[in-house]
Chain A
Amino acid sequence: MMLHSRSPSQTIRIGKQLGRFLRRGDVVALVGELGTGKTQLIKGLAQGIGFKKSAYISSPSFTLINEHPGKITLYHMDLYRMEEEEAKELGLEEYFQGDGVTAVEWADKIPSLLPGQLLWIHLYYTGKQTRSIELVPLGERYEALLKQFSSEFGVKH
């Protein structure tokens, strides 16, 4: 499914709509060049999950993992500085099997560590402000999630 965003705030809104359908144990893997809006989209996911202070969902590039405890805990990871070998020793799998929602920026850096089922989100530059956002579901759970998402918001596949 391909979506289009005309601004950072629209990217947040898209994330918010998607976030409403996320539940415990879900894993969202984000890929996109520096500045395509990965952190913005996760800010939106957090809003959709129900976080009130989502404006302060900031980049964890430096801290690697930010935990946002709420009704559902959001684990916000950023592998910008990581290589797969290092990530292996961190035990990231435990988060993927955990009781929260896990959103991973730069997830393409750790292909062998990701769970078999997840939602891929690819972000592409299409202009200075505009981005394409491609949602690729892996597995039944995420196909169902996208079906729900598209029927509710009238997004066409």
Chain B
Amino acid sequence: MNKKRILLAIETSCDDTGAAVLSDGRKILSSVVSSQVSVHQKYGGVVPELASRKHIEMIVPIVTEALQQAGLSLEKIDGIAVTQGPGLVGSLLVGLSFAKSLAFVKGIPLIGVNHLEAHLSAIFLEENPPSFPFLGLVVSGGHTSLFRVDGFGQYTLLGQTRDDAAGEAFDKVAKLLGLGYPGGPIIDELSRTGNPRAIPFPRPSVGKNSFDFSFSGLKTAVVHFVKTFPGPPGSFPEELLRNIVSSFQAAVVDVLVQKTFQAAGHQGLKRVVISGGVAANRLLRQRMKEEASKQKMRIYIPSPVLCTDNAAMVGVVGYEYLKRGIRFPLSLNAFSNLRF
């Protein structure tokens, strides 16, 4: 049993094509992500058809690159992990079909992975990962969900967004202000020199006893604020734009921090893990760390490159399932919605 298990992982749930090679589910031998931002920038967001067409073009070169960087041939691969959902079905199917074919031809096990479970597990690629149980927040363009995590495959959904995801709110506000795509990093950068207290945007809550989120009211508040000024946002003075995005970002971060620690407290959990694209936001990382130390809890945040979509995190989950002897049939299908 000393032989290390080598896994190839594939992720195509949204705009990035990712492939990674992992040793025993913890050591990244390679992780390649084709950032498609240049294609999407033109359209101010993720354009699904373009995404799936791009995945078709990218999947072979990306997997080849991952194998080359790992210095391994396909013959050395012991199993394939692939994102099954949730996500854009057209995009998911590209990765899934590719993984199935490879598993069939090579006669190796195939493991379907839930994208959110993968995000929650990215932290195991870092040094000193948490032990179970912990509170997990997945926050991205498509999701804002809180989980109690008791082990691999043991998740309890505690709350989620009832309208917009946090990352979606970032994208919509950026587009409204004519700042471009992707909204998250642009707002993060602009906010550094803005005043987060300049505009008292609301901190929407769906009730004290709920761990759900709601960001559409905050988005609407930004729309109303922008309307009080004459002319298009493109003509606004730079300082005003910085203050708007900085105040908006502070509101989103406040809500995320407050609900996350409230949920951790409610569940009696002392460890908090955050992941997903928005977990790369500097203010969120800083505020989560401050709050954790105030509450005497431990916070675990993967490095930004592991927060955004990547295949390595898919490999972590795939390995755990492989180890437990869990196999998936080649009839495995994609799913679009959250399943927990």
Q: List residues of A whose CB falls within 8 A of some B CB.
A: 8, 33-35, 39-40, 55-56, 58-59, 61-68, 80-83, 86-87, 89-90, 128
Contact = CB atoms under 8 A, between A and B. Distances in A.
Contacts of B176: 34
Nearest to B14: A62
B223 A55 contact: no
B141 interface: yes
Given A58-B161, A86-B43, A63 B212 contact: no
A58 B90 CA distance: 20
Nearest to A69: B337
Contacts of B285: none
Given A63-B336, A66-B336, A34 B48 contact: no
B219 interface: yes
A58 B47 contact: no
A95 B248 CA distance: 36
A67 B87 CA distance: 11
A64 B165 contact: no
- Residue among B50, B90, B163 facing the most chain A CB atoms (10 A cut-off): B163
Nearest to B87: A63
B336 A90 contact: no
A34 B162 CA distance: 16
A56 B160 CA distance: 8
Leading 6 A-B pairs by shortest Cβ distance: A81-B45, A35-B220, A62-B142, A35-B223, A62-B141, A64-B48
A83 B337 CA distance: 24
Contacts of B44: 81
Given A55-B212, A61-B168, A63-B336, A40 B219 contact: no
Contacts of B162: 55-56, 58
Interface in B80-130: 86-90
B49 A59 contact: no
B223 A62 contact: no
**Majority-rule SS of A interface residues:** loop
Interface string B42-76: 01111111100000000000000000000000000
Contacts of B188: none
Given A40-B163, A59-B168, A61-B168, A8 B223 contact: no
Nearest to A81: B45
Given A34-B176, A35-B220, A63 B88 contact: yes
B167 interface: yes
B172 interface: yes
Given A34-B172, A67-B336, A81-B46, 19 more contacts: A34-B219, A35-B219, A39-B163, A39-B164, A56-B160, A58-B162, A59-B164, A59-B216, A61-B164, A61-B171, A62-B165, A66-B336, A66-B337, A67-B337, A80-B172, A81-B44, A86-B48, A86-B49, A90-B49
Contacts of B296: none
B43 A33 contact: no
A33 B227 CA distance: 12
B167 A62 contact: yes
B217 interface: yes
Contacts, number: 83
B336 A65 contact: yes
B88 A64 contact: yes
A97 B289 CA distance: 51
22 contacts: A34-B220, A34-B223, A35-B220, A39-B164, A40-B163, A58-B164, A59-B164, A59-B168, A61-B164, A62-B14, A62-B165, A63-B87, A63-B142, A65-B89, A66-B336, A67-B336, A81-B43, A81-B47, A82-B47, A82-B48, A86-B48, A86-B49
Nearest to B222: A35
A103 to B, nearest CB: 15
B47 A59 contact: no
A8 B163 CA distance: 12
A5 B162 CA distance: 20
Given A39-B163, A62-B167, A62-B168, A83 B224 contact: no
A58 B48 contact: no
Contacts of A68: 337
A94 to B, nearest CB: 13
Contacts of B48: 64, 82, 86, 90
A64 B52 CA distance: 13
Contact of B216 (A35, A64, A80, A87): A35
Interface in B165-219: 165, 167-168, 171-172, 176, 212, 216-217, 219
